[in-house]
Structure 1
Amino acid sequence: MFTTIMVWAGSWIAMKALVSYIGPFQMTAARYLIGAVLLFGLLIILRRPLAMTPWKLTLLTGLTQTAGFQALVQLALVQGGVGKVSVLAYTMPFWVILFAWALLGDRPTARHGVGFVLAAAGLVCFLEPWQGLGDWFPAVCAVAGGLFWGLGTVLSKRMFDLHAPDLMTFTTWQMLLGALMTLPAAILVPHDPIVWGWQLTVGLAYSCLVATVMGWLLWLSVVRRVPASIAGLSSLGVPIVATLFAWWMLGERPTFVEVLGMALIMVGLWVVSRRPRARPQENLVQPSQHQEHS
């Protein structure tokens, strides 16, 4: 858990640092194409299955969790700061609740309603409508990125429940398909010329090797083991650490209203993501069911 938080918090700094050197769609395509190639190499070395996992869910996961999420947050970082974008993108657990209800039949509870209200208040603090919504574009892109990530998380959970694929094989194929679906935008959308240099090389190396290959394997291993509605718990510290990193490394000092919004969203995420305590009589009567869901 600690490793995942540090790896992905660092990736937000790398993504923000690279917006001056490469376009958002080019960054997304390059990051995941290189990551997929590296993972295919690992599959061969470790003699893991190479055949594509069930293609429909793999394709949908690649479209949402890889292409949609990453392209949108990278686009948000062009104008928005790391702290604001990362916190809004990590509203993902709220979207997981809604999609898990629609696709997996997991009904939300009153506790989830409280979390949604807190998050909505935090979102208003970030958007600051009393200021005229001048900074709405990166906020909308970040929230939309969280929505796509949430949908991809539920689709991943459905894949593991229905087909139990090899973790590394599934990660590799959804990453490759997501990168390929980003290529048209990387080629056709106008962008400034790519600025090659050590900054871009180092940033891509971290993004591909550490944040992509290691980070997504860690994340999907969490999704495979726990219910979709609480999968976001392990990622709760990422936007907080990313904001502190951005303050320290990039000089992005959050305002009081932004800190308030962040606190409201984080509390809402905690309320939504924490596992409810089992009642004592339930533990005695139905021990097998609790073991199945632990």
Structure 2
Amino acid sequence: MKTSTSDLLVTAVAPIIWGSTYIVTTDFLPGFPPMAVAMLRALPAGLLLLLIVRQLPAGIWWLRTFTLGALNVSIFLSMLFISAYRLPGGVAATVAAVQPLLVVFLAYFVLASPVRGAAVVAALLGAAGVALLVLTAGARLDPVGIVAGLAAAGSMACGTVLSRKWQPPVSLLTFTAWQLTAGGLLLVPVVYILEPAMPVPTISHLLALAWLGLVGMALTYVLWLRGVVRLDPSVVSPLLLLSPVTAVLLGWWFLDQTLTGLQIAGGLLVVGSIWLGQR
């Protein structure tokens, strides 16, 4: 499959924006239950898009929509926020960096895509680059956070491959609306039964949730699914490594965090691994 530079650039916008999740969650939504944040991020965005497209799934697409909604949204986001709240951003990002490697092997079993040596090497180099970029000597390793991070990576990897396999006869906007709504609805009973009450939201909380939902979900999922449909999974998945790079740059820019030589080397290694993955 020929890789389009424009498709790559458009798809890369999604993980770059997702890189803001850590700083927005920890700095603007402290004390919010993680699954409640996941629900508030997905469901309002999905319902808004559903009002725009005014089209519901039919037949087998009900089951497929809720399966993809669970993998790409409810399981992925809830595990991601549990990981983000329980681990330093660097550790959480490093755990999530195994996702491109998972996609390479899942695509082999589900899509019969060949396992290319360059793709495996690129995934390993990318994970190493993320570790250099974000890990610190005093990084705290919480077992629950580690398991949640791995679950998030595995869930999104499965969702990416299945989204490639199942391509509905509707627009990407409609496909996104279905998945976000389904994923958000699946989280409602979990939040209601298992999670404590949320703090009374302030203006800053609402703005943070609007960013995470409208921009970080509604917009970016359209762009991401567009890339999943047009590009090979082994080409798309390395772009996710741009998220930790963005997270570190945002911390450097807004929180006056310093960048060491190892971090700069790690960032360059991540960029190099993405380039190798496209080859």
TM-score normalised by length of structure 2: 0.80
Aligned partner of 1:214 among 212, 219, 222? 219
Is 1:238 the counterpart of 2:249? The answer is no
Unaligned runs of 5+ in 2: 1-9
The alpha carbon displacement at 1:43 in A equals 1.1
Q: Which residue pairs with 2:178 in the alignment?
A: 173
Q: What whole-Å deviation, never above 9, does each CA across 1:10-61 have from its counterpart, x for those lacking one?
A: 34422333441411011111211101111112214xxxx4444712321211
Q: Which residue pairs with 2:149 in the alignment?
A: 142
Q: Which residue pairs with 1:57 in the alignment?
A: 64
Is 1:39 the counterpart of 2:39? The answer is no
Code of the residue aligned with 1:63 in structure 2: it is A
Shift in alpha-carbon separation, 1:191–1:56, aligned structure 2, 3 A: same
The alpha carbon displacement at 1:244 in A equals 1.0
Is 1:23 the counterpart of 2:23? The answer is no
Percent of pairs identical after alignment? Answer: 23
Q: Which residue pairs with 1:292 in the alignment?
A: none
RMSD of the TM alignment (CA)? 3.2
Distance 1:33 1:9 in 2: 20
Code of the residue aligned with 2:76 in structure 1: it is F
The alpha carbon displacement at 1:124 in A equals 7.4
Q: Which residue pairs with 2:18 in the alignment?
A: 8
Distance 2:24 2:82 in 1: 14
Q: Secondary structure at the match of 2:107?
A: helix
TM-score normalised by length of structure 1: 0.77
Distance 2:134 2:164 in 1: 32
- The correspondence of residues 207-286 of structure 1 with structure 2, limited to 5 A, is 207-250=212-255, 267-271=272-276, 273-274=277-278, 276=279
Distance 1:126 1:68 in 2: 26
Code of the residue aligned with 1:146 in structure 2: it is A
Which has the higher Rg, Structure 1 or Structure 2?
1
Is 1:104 the counterpart of 2:111? The answer is yes
Code of the residue aligned with 1:152 in structure 2: it is G
Is the Cα–Cα contact under 8 Å of residues 12 and 86 in structure 1 kept in the other structure?
no
The alpha carbon displacement at 1:144 in A equals 2.4
Is the Cα–Cα contact under 8 Å of residues 38 and 81 in structure 2 kept in the other structure?
yes
The alpha carbon displacement at 1:137 in A equals 3.9
Unaligned runs of 5+ in 1: 277-294
Distance 1:79 1:247 in 2: 22
Shift in alpha-carbon separation, 1:222–1:113, aligned structure 2, 3 A: closer
Q: Secondary structure at the match of 2:191?
A: helix
Code of the residue aligned with 2:46 in structure 1: it is A
Is the Cα–Cα contact under 8 Å of residues 43 and 169 in structure 1 kept in the other structure?
yes
Distance 1:213 1:102 in 2: 30
Code of the residue aligned with 1:238 in structure 2: it is S
Shift in alpha-carbon separation, 1:5–1:260, aligned structure 2, 3 A: same
Q: Which residue pairs with 1:291 in the alignment?
A: none
Distance 1:81 1:91 in 2: 17
The alpha carbon displacement at 1:209 in A equals 1.2
